[in-house]
Amino acid sequence: MDNLTTAPTLTTTRLVLRGPERDDLPAFTRFMTSAPSMIAQAETVTAEQAWFGFLIGIGHWHWHGFGFFIVVEQSTGHPVGRVGLIKHSNWPDVELAWHLFEGAEGKGFATEASFAVKRWACEVLGLERLYSYIDCGNTRSQAVATRLGAVTDGTRASHEPEAEVWVHLIDRDSTSQET
């Protein structure tokens, strides 16, 4: 274990959410450089850019006290994606975001992990509202947001014009659900 952040460990029925470790870089790089979901959205990057993105994710935890958790499937011990909270310098609000690695889609991992992060955001960070910025054509992420209880407010994200703003109101009752 080589946890690079102060991230807590969260657990769900099937998943462990933990801070990034050095050994997570290859899976993250593969996702960022060649995942079909990244290709479909024209968001692939070079291996060097993925490395910088990985370091930015680590820095996020140190700057804000939150960031992306690495999502690990308990039964296999393998990372299946990342889910967490982000707020870049030019973003108006805290975003709840999820990215599943190739082969992990369609199993409910994003929803299950996101419920855990919402609960943590409410109980530990005291947040009452989160936002997701979802590309207008990304129906799979829109479905996850809907399962999480989010609704689109019909506006576009100022920092990402192709993305609709989805609002997650957080209360203790809504974070107790788990798939």
- State which residues form the domain around 109: 10-176
Q: If residue 84 lies in a helix (H) or strand (E), which one and from where to where?
A: strand 79-86
Q: Determine, yes or no, domain membership for 1.
A: no
Q: Rounded to two decimals, what is the model's pTM?
A: 0.91
Domains held by the chain: number: 1
Q: Determine, yes or no, domain membership for 165.
A: yes
Taking alpha carbons only, the member of 95, 103, 110 closest to residue 166 is 95
pLDDT tens readout for residues 5-58: 999 999 999 999 999 999 999 999 999 999 988 888 888 999 999 999 999 999
Q: Determine, yes or no, domain membership for 168.
A: yes
pLDDT tens readout for residues 79-107: 999 999 999 888 889 999 999 999 999 99
Q: Which residues pair with 151 in a beta bridge?
A: 167
Q: Determine, yes or no, domain membership for 3.
A: no
pLDDT number for residue 171: 73
